[in-house]
Structure 1
Amino acid sequence: MADVNCHKVLMKALDYDERGDKEQAIHYYTMAVELILSIEDKEKREKMNKFARQALDRAEELKGIKKNESPKESGKKSIQTQSASSPTTNAPNKTVPTVPTHSPKLEVTSKEGYTMEEKKVLEKTSTINAKVYVPFMEIDAKERFNFPIPFSDKDGILELSPKQKKEFVQWMRISELCQQPEIIIGTNPDYHAIKQTVVSDCSFVSSLTVAALHEKKFNRRILTSIIYPRNSKDEPVYNQSGKYLIKLYVNGIARKIVIDDYLPVGRHNQLLCSYSNNKNEFWVSVLEKAYMKLMNGYDFPGSNSNIDAYALTGWIPERISIKKNDPDFNGNQVFDRLKEGFHQGRCLITVATGELSDAECDRTGLVSTHAFAVINMAEVDGVKLLMLKNPWSHLRWKGNYSEQDSRWTPELQRILNYDPKMAQSIDNGIFWIDYYSLLNFFDVFYLNWDPELFKYTYCTHKMWQSGIGPVKDAYTIGDNPQFSLAVPQGRGSVYVLLTRHITSIEDFRENKEYITLLVYQHKNGKRIYYPHDPAPYIDGIRINSPHYLCKIRLDPNAARKYTLVVSQYEKTTTIFYTLRAYCREPFELKSLDTYLTTNLQVTGEWNSSNSTAGGCQNHKTYRNNPLYKVTLANDGNLAVELRAPKVFQVGLELTVKELDDSSLTAPFISKTTDNFRSGFCVLDLENLSAGKYLIRPSTFLPNQEAPFFLKLKSSAKLQIEKEQ
């Protein structure tokens, strides 16, 4: 097993060497040497000695020990290192750089039920913070809610935050807090009544606010539809047995969260959680408790409104960073797009501040790193204005167009139906602010778009194992999850949402996983291997939020095929994710990860002592390079990857030896990689006929000694052996 483990360790060493992590590269090169020396089989050990020397050479080189350096100077034995010469004319000029009641009514395309992989992914990520949250099904609406004695959650009471603990006296049931409790008073929830207290969930409370506002304004139950039990009018109702079921969109699908109605109460009989100012109304507290249970208690590290509003509604999350001085940030265009979406009921909007000093907070009336709900937008005589609500229900903006500002002309008050004098009489946390000021003090807009804007959708749930592919997408993305997207002619955009599943609150506290989507259009929807040659059509920003939205604008005059690649900044753990696509036009989205099912790997070397370091085809010694015979048992596709130390420019040639069907004419005699590349290249061939093929890996220059790895993937049965 030591020789097998050595191969794996060498692969890791090459990965870290490629990304420039000298410390880790040295560690794994050294480990490879130790593993080779521990091989008991003498013949195998001697066969691997060449790799040991190469690994030791590279480790010493990374440590800064120069060739011909004496042992006294280096503290190590003297070694020789072979450096790569500059490529000549045939070498590349550059090397590869390192809903109403409320499931969206969309037509699902390219999908027939869950695959076994999807079932495993959804089951695996049902366990969140050590509790199981199963998928929500319509039959759950008929779950038992009435009991002879009041219901108590089997998962126990929630952990309180430090601020709550200071004031906490007891847990009380809703029935103990008032005589005639209701979940919602009236037909729709009142966003004015929502008040955040000591729980650090301003983004969640702001999400409640904008969802409640939308429900009231457009009479769509996007929020109250997730609360059970319900009456014959399909409205959420108070349950005297104290059991509630909340449907939240988490880890790829809607899931059921069951809670009891115990709420934390303080010394003066006040609720120590968010609540409605309508004293007999409890929808705010019930929804917050369900979300806090999902997040492992009221000691919540904070989130953002993209995550929270998506959990509440399933609406498509988008993040717009506010970069006032960035030439790529078009503030006027952003405002117009948001205003149109807001007034047409297409999106929910919140906005958040960045880091503000205490002096700035005192001067402006704003709060540092705090989320505000956007409850109105307007433009009057060229002045762009937004009305915001602080989830604390107090503390307001003190600058331009605040209630104290002199800019409020009678005409402006009439147009916006706003009385600043009346506003001065009570601080409810609601204020107007001009867009220019907002751009100065706020960091980001969080939007959630109505999925019913799109007629067609597609969804898949997948796993990306940590051991597949390099740690960093520096030189190849061939092993990354990839999808082919085909869109006919049409206007508008395809929205593609990548959602990473989160199963621990620690991931919220310190999220170290950065994900994104890369979009390529030069390969006609086929697999991509080189990340920057050519550069992606859309190079997604790697963010540590669970959601990343990619918008692909369509060319109305042409059909398009794209390759979508899931990418991480540094892959350290297995991730589970959901990919959703939305479009107004029919489209096809399919995985590229399933058709190459056969995988083989061999290790070889270029060695000048036995004349196997022949260089490229410009040299007479080219035919001396190692040669491998590949047998395809049946017709299929074949991808051959060559990996070697990045100091060498390497290439591949595949030639047809013979076809099983002698009546066929081979479509080519030989195929080569497009040019020589640093440390990595690939041949990706489709529709090969069954038969025998020869593969010859080479460096650009002759007499360059190094180990190499050949990885073969095929949709056909495959064998490989070295030609003598």
Structure 2
Amino acid sequence: MSVNYQNTNNQLNLLYQQAFYFANNAVKEDNIGNVEAAIKAYLDFKKVVESILQLETNQIKKEKIREKCQEYNRRVTELKNLTTYDKLMIQAKHKLDQISLQYEQKNNQEVLELYKCTLEILMKAAAEGTRDKSELIMFMKKIFERAEDLKGLPTTMSSLQVRSANPGAENSSPICKLSGIEDAILKKNSIINGKNFPQWPEGPEELNEQFAFERPFVDKDVLELSIAQKEKFDSWRRPSEIMNEPELFKMVSSTAIKQDVVTDCSFVASLCVSAAYQKRYGNKQLITRCIFPKNKYGHPFYNPSGKYVVKLIFNGTPRKVIIDDFLPFSRDGTLMCTFSTNKNELWPSIIEKAYLKLMGGYNFPGSNSGIDLYILTGWIPEQIFIDKYFEKEIMWKRMLNSQPKDDKNPDQHALITIATGHLSDTKGLVPTHAYAVLDIREVNDLRLLLVKNPWSHKRWTGPFSHLDRVNWTPELMKELDYDIERASNIDDGIFWIDFDSVCEYFYSIHMNWNPERFHYVVTKHSSWPINVGLRKDTMNLAYNPQFCLEINNESEQPSEVYLLLSKHITVTEEENEDFITLHVYNDTNGEKIYSDKTPWKKGAYVNSPHILVRFDAPTGITRYTIVVAQINRVKSLDFTLKCYSISPATLSEIPKKYQNVEFISGKWTNQTAGGNPSNITYLNNPEYRFSISPPTSNSPSDKPRVLLMLEGPKKFAMDVRMIWSNGKRIASLTTKDILMKSSGYRNGFCYCEKDDIKPGDYTIIVSTYEPGLIGEFTLTVASNVTFNVTSIPLEGAGMFKKVIYGQWIKGFNAMGIQQNFHLNPSYHLKISEMTTLKLQTPEMNPIPTHIRVFEKRPNNSLGREIANSGDYASAGFIQGVCTDDISLPSNDQGYIIVFCTWEKDVSGKFTAYVYSDRNVTIEEIVHERNELRK
């Protein structure tokens, strides 16, 4: 029987690859103190070695393998005998080695995180009470001495919060731990496109994940292809099937990255600029930091088991994306995904697959490079539209200054990409396409950008292109190291373009800023439920999420602050209708605001996942109110707000001030649109009874405070006020009656607020400035105590109404309140049964006026006074006067109603209403001439 040596060799090679991986992984886990993981990897190595020994014919190799296996068996026995204290000290020593490595590479953020984790490990070791602590004390002293080197690094030392060292407290939460609400928000938004992408575990690059398997790993989630991709698709293949010696990284280079049929040019452009950055600053890991598994030096490597984990930032936090290495292969015998032109190199394909899994599949419709760079690197995204507001000169200076000349200090660096819109004259550009900016130069007043098309072909054909033989002088080509002859013969998609042409042909510029330029970063995760507040963006900001930002700038120079709002997205292919923004108010002392007065920094509403607002904080302590705003809310909004600051900063959500809120929908109609208090119809406006009960023994001890807010059509100037009353409809109004009111008539929205409201019944009046304005409004009543609000019907609603038209005539019946008072306009009121009525004069001239009701005696003489309208109405309040409800029994004579002015011989007219619960008869009393002559 013949032996198939080729198959045996292939099988043996695969086993050796697996053995090498298990051995490498075992040593790595052993070095960092992950004892259980190390033991498992050593035993996995032993199992694979047993299979190798059955196939290997070379006796020398077999003997070496047996020796290595014995060595690892001894190590497994040692590991099993380690105490918890021993394990923790191994972990701490490994962290210290990592600190040294990252410190040398100036990876400041990683250094700080490593210090935090090391201190947490040492605190746990301190809780182990069975060992001599001298070694531990010396170790901790060494850590704190090294921590002194971190002063001035771009992150606050306060981030080095550690767990409690008290015995039994090793499971306590770190001081900087997320709140329960924040953690719930992040967990809820881990489900993206129906798949779970959990938060990255705490600590720098800490990943308790199995990467080695007896059989190659297969991800259960197969990425969907588009229709166009399916037409070219042949099969899913692993790197080992299409490459001789696969490597994850050979050389990080932007020029080697090539996009194929996947429509993710923005992400590929992001890969290009990130690779260019890492190549230029070799000690700054940007691409390599996000891929796992890694060796003990922190470098990712090819995994023959085919499993990778990629760390991507999405929905407010770094997330774990697990993939296998199956890649789409075409019928033409080529990879369909983005790939590296460096032979056997995998990293562009692997990172792209992780990103596309997060985005829903290879059928991804596209994004923008600012968003993608943030997902990939965490660098702060800023989008600048090239529109009528575009500041060309300022923008050029910002772009040029974002490329630091000192390669040893790249913290001020920004990664830049540019994007086209719809083009009529393309000049070699691709419409709605993203490009990577690899370099920016200013030479002899020429402003030029080196740009790459992610396709790695198809270039700009305008000024300074490979076709331009006029602008490219020998001096300029030497300065930029450009060979126009070579460029004419090789289309690699890389070209120079002048900034003027960028401004003419491109749609937007994306700048992603290095977060390490900022010393302090504070983060809040929050939610804006759809049932809180109104769904349309209005002038009322009371129910918008608001935050107090405090900056403590101790320097004499302005301190730079970046605010980044990132909304959480769980279905990436959904049409994005969430137009969001951030507003910054600098004159509020960080307190809650209600009215949308012009903000200090007004954000533009865009449907991007990220909104960035930049400003400089002055010297001293400054507090700002940060408001999240959204147009036409159709669903709840979860979001993350980050503050990046040069100076110490704190960010806290402004709590809800009122626990009890009621929304009241109303209308101004033809009958109730009474206008402002200078109109006689003012008291026809909608009125509401507001009642606060006296506190009980179970009631909160806080003094009642009340907030009134009125929203309506933006073209209506409106006012809301609360009146001292018994909760009845206001019949007359004086200044002393007003308990609280909004600050003048304001278009679209107004509010008023008052503390220490005494229990009782009050009346709320809502009005527009102009009478007769018909429209809907929303009245919001809020308080820290329970209350009741009910609508008060119009005066006389449901009652009989009689109208009296009268006048005062000088020398005839204008008698005032002095002599011959009874000769003022008088009316005989006849009732047949017990009747309740009210008298009102809404229209009168002149003022002040008065109403009195008397019992009638024979010959129309006045008997006992029954009721009156109270004080005389004063100038400035022309709504007239009104009596309280009057209960009158029936009698034979009836009653007399007298209307009078304060002064005698004042001519004028009046209109009076008589409201009654029974039908009554009213007749004018005509006095005899001889009476008038008296």
Give the TM-score normalised by structure 2. Answer: 0.60
Work out the percentage of aligned pairs sharing the same amino acid: 38
Alpha-carbon distance in structure 1 between the residues aligned to 2:579 and 2:669: 41
Seen in structure 2, the aligned counterparts of structure 1 residues 229 and 669 have a Cα distance that, compared at 3 Å, is same
> Aligned to 1:338, which of 399, 402, 407?
399
How far apart, CA to CA, are the structure 1 residues paired with 2:482 and 2:220? 49
Tell me which of 722, 742, 745 is aligned to 1:673: 742
Match of 1:198 in 2: 261
Is the 2:673–2:768 contact (alpha carbons within 8 Å) kept by the matching residues of 1? no
* Alignment-derived partner of residue 150 in structure 1: 216
Q: Which residue of 2 aligns with 1:293?
A: 357
Does the 8 A contact of 1:648 with 1:699 survive in 2? Answer: no
- Residue 699, structure 1, aligned to residue 741, structure 2: no
**Aligned equivalents of 1:123, 1:183: Cα separation in 2:** 31
Contact 1:384 1:435 in 2 (8 A): yes
240, 259, 262: which is aligned to 1:175?
240
Match of 1:589 in 2: 651
Task: Confirm or deny: 8 A CA contact 1:630 1:721 kept in the other structure.
Answer: no
Counterpart of 2:340 in structure 1: which amino acid? Answer: S
Residue aligned with 2:504, SS: helix
Distance 1:430 1:671, change over 3 A: same
Unaligned runs of 5+ in 1: 1-98, 659-667
| Alignment-derived partner of residue 536 in structure 1 | 599
The alpha-carbon distance between structure 1 residues 527 and 618, as it changes in their structure 2 partners (threshold 3 A), is farther
State the alpha-carbon separation in 2 of the partners of residues 706 and 549 from structure 1: 37
What is the rounded CA distance, in whole Å, between the counterparts of 1:382 and 1:262 in structure 2?
50
- Specify the code of the residue in structure 2 equivalent to 1:469: G
Matched, 1:561 2:623: yes
Amino acid at match of 1:523: T
SS across alignment from 1:505: coil
SS at 1:192 equivalent = coil
Look up the SS of the partner of 1:684 in the other structure.
strand
2:787 is paired with a residue whose SS is: strand
Task: Describe the shift of the 1:305–1:674 C-alpha distance in structure 2 as closer, same or farther (beyond 3 A).
Answer: same
Asked if 1:318 is matched to 2:382, the reply is yes
Residues 473 and 569, structure 1, Cα contact 8 Å, conserved in 2: yes
Counterpart Cα distance in 2 of 1:401 and 1:614: 67
1:455-604 map, 5 Å: 455-489=519-553, 491-507=558-574, 510-531=575-596, 534-556=597-619, 559-601=621-663
Q: CA deviation at 1:299?
A: 0.6
> Deviation per CA, 1:630-657, whole angstroms, max 9, x where unpaired?
3574336542223567787543334789
In the TM superposition, residue 425 of structure 1 has moved relative to its aligned partner by 2.8
In 1, distance between residues paired with 2:217 and 2:468?
Answer: 52
Q: Structure 1 CA distance, aligned partners of 2:746 and 2:464?
A: 60
Matches within 5 A, 1:206-217: 206-217=269-280
Matched with 2:306 is 242
Q: Is the 8 A contact 2:523 2:651 kept in 1?
A: no
Q: Work out whether 1:417 is the aligned partner of 2:478.
A: no
Tell me, yes or no, if the aligned pair for 1:150 and 1:241 is still in contact at 8 Å.
yes
CA distance in 2, matches of 1:308, 1:492: 28
1:450 alignment partner in structure 2: 514
Task: Tell me by how many angstroms 1:176 deviates.
Answer: 1.2
Deviation at 1:605, TM superposition (A): 8.6
| Inter-CA distance 486–642: structure 2 relative to 1 (3 Å threshold) | same
| Equivalent residues of 2:594, 2:751 under 8 A apart | yes
Is the 2:520–2:645 contact (alpha carbons within 8 Å) kept by the matching residues of 1? Answer: yes
Amino acid at match of 2:603: G
Which whole-Å CA distance do the structure 1 matches of 2:701 and 2:391 have between them? 55
Q: 1:220 to 1:281 in 2, by over 3 A?
A: same
Q: Write the deviation string for residues 30-69 of structure 1: whole angstroms up to 9, x where unpaired.
A: xxxxxxxxxxxxxxxxxxxxxxxxxxxxxxxxxxxxxxxx
Which residue does the alignment assign to 1:14? Answer: none
Q: 1:706 to 1:101 in 2, by over 3 A?
A: closer
Aligned twin of 1:404: 467
Q: How much does 1:567 deviate?
A: 1.4
Corresponding letter in the other structure for 1:216: K
Question: In structure 1, which of residues 80, 93, 106 is the aligned counterpart of residue 155 of structure 2?
Answer: 106
Matched letter for residue 607 of structure 2: N
Q: Is the 8 A contact 1:200 1:302 kept in 2?
A: yes
Q: What is the rounded CA distance, in whole Å, between the counterparts of 1:711 and 1:234 in structure 2?
A: 58
Give the drift of 1:675: 1.1
Report the equivalent of 2:785.
Answer: 717
Q: Secondary structure of the equivalent of 2:207?
A: helix
Larger RCO: 1 or 2 (CA < 8 Å, sep 6+): 1
Q: Distance in 1 between matches of 2:770 and 2:371?
A: 56
How far 1:628 moved relative to its partner?
2.0
Q: How far off is 1:100 after superposition?
A: 4.1
Report the secondary structure of 1:191's partner residue: coil
1:393 aligns with 2:427: no
Deviates more, 1:583-592 or 1:248-257: 583-592
Alignment counterpart, residue 207 of structure 2, candidates 141, 149, 168: 141
Asked whether the 8 Å contact 1:306–1:448 carries over to 2, the reply is yes
Structure 1 residue aligned with 2:691 = 629
8 Å Cα contact 2:386-2:507 kept in structure 1: yes
Q: 1:209 to 1:622 in 2, by over 3 A?
A: same
Q: What does residue 165 of structure 1 align with? A: 230
User: How many pairs were matched up?
Assistant: 599
Aligned pairs for 1:428-439 within 5 A? 428-439=492-503
Contact map agreement 1:486 1:589 (CA 8 A) in 2 = yes
Cross-structure match for 2:810: none
AA aligned opposite 1:372 = Y
Following superposition, the deviation at residue 349 of structure 1 comes to 0.4
CA displacement at 1:226 relative to structure 2: 0.4
Distance 1:417 1:647, change over 3 A: closer
Shift of 1:247: 0.4
If you compute each CA radius of gyration, which structure gives the higher value, 1 or 2?
Answer: 2
Give the aligned CA root-mean-square deviation in angstroms: 3.3
